[in-house]
Amino acid sequence: MSEQMPKPLRVGLFVVVASTVVLGGSSAFAHKINVFAYAQGNEIHGEVYFRGRIPAQNAKVTAFDPEGEKLEEVTADAEGKFAFQPRFRCDHRLVVDTGDGHAAEYTITAAELPDDLPPRPGDSTKSGPSEPKTTASPPHHHHHAPATLPNGKKLQEMIEAAVSRQVTPLRKQLAQYEAKTRLRDILGGIGYILGIMGLVYYFLGLRKKKTPDANPTNPTHQTNN
């Protein structure tokens, strides 16, 4: 009896390993749709992809403002990329729904968007365009910058563009890293399943011990349990 138990285990293990090997070679670990976006110049650029960098073609991306009102709707291209010009300087919540129960979202904060966009009508909390430029930055630049450098606004735009160029790949990488299905997690999951199996065995073993004891010397053993 106990001799037979490892057999199904071994065969089942084969199934796991085989399916992992067969499919793991040709593909990335993936599931769950992801969306990533960043502001560049006066546009919002973004990508939609499944786990493992598989682009979600023609995915529909909808941008909502913080109140949940629809601002924009774009469709991703064949590479899963999309871009649009924001009309207002407010938080943009980008929601992707592929229509088959997979959904994801990503929020671009107002601070990432260019200063010269008008704030969302009715959003009186921040006066987007004027605040950062007129207060600290321009005088600061005038102090230190020689006359040959572009003026404050231009310089700030250049810096923003440069920083965005440098930082965007990093942020992309970070988003991808978070989205990746890691082998560790998979092994962890399998470990949990084996652990549950152990628990089931434990409790069944307890039950077996309590009831008849199923010993060969006892002729009056009850069959039900």
Partner 1 sequence: MHICEGVLSNSTGGIAVLGAGIVLTAAGTAIGLRKMDYERIPQVAVLGSALFVASLIHVPLGPTAVHLVLNGLAGLILGWAVFPALLVALFLQIVFFSFGGLTTLGLNTLTMALPAVACYYLFHPAVRSKSQLLVFSAGFAAGATAIVLAAVLTALALLIAGKEFTTISQTVLLAHVPVAVIEGLVTASVVVFLRKVRAEVLEAPLLVSHRVEVPNV
* Cα–Cα dist 57/49, whole Å: 8
Q: How far is the CB of 105 from partner 1 (least distance, A)?
A: 11
Q: How far is the CB of 174 from partner 1 (least distance, A)?
A: 17
CA distance to 64, 84, 126, 128, per residue, from 13 (Å): 47, 49, 59, 59
Q: Is the CB of 3 or the CB of 122 nearer to partner 1?
A: 3
Q: Is the CB of 74 or the CB of 117 nearer to partner 1?
A: 74
Query: 104 and 34 in contact (C-beta within 8 Å)?
Result: yes
Q: Is the CB of 30 or the CB of 74 nearer to partner 1?
A: 30
- CB count in 10 Å sphere of residue 75: 11
Query: 120 and 81 in contact (C-beta within 8 Å)?
Result: no
Q: How far is the CB of 47 from partner 1 (least distance, A)?
A: 14
Q: Is the CB of 139 or the CB of 191 nearer to partner 1?
A: 191
Query: 180 and 166 in contact (C-beta within 8 Å)?
Result: no
Q: Is the CB of 37 or the CB of 59 nearer to partner 1?
A: 59
Binding positions for partner 1, rule: CB under 8 A: 1, 4-13, 15-16, 18-20, 22-24, 26-32, 50-52, 54-58, 98-103, 181, 185-186, 188-190, 192-194, 196-197, 200-201, 204, 208
Q: How far is the CB of 1 from partner 1 (least distance, A)?
A: 7
Cβ-based neighbours of 95, under 8 Å, separated by 6 or more = 35, 61, 62, 63, 64, 103, 104, 105
Q: How far is the CB of 169 from partner 1 (least distance, A)?
A: 23
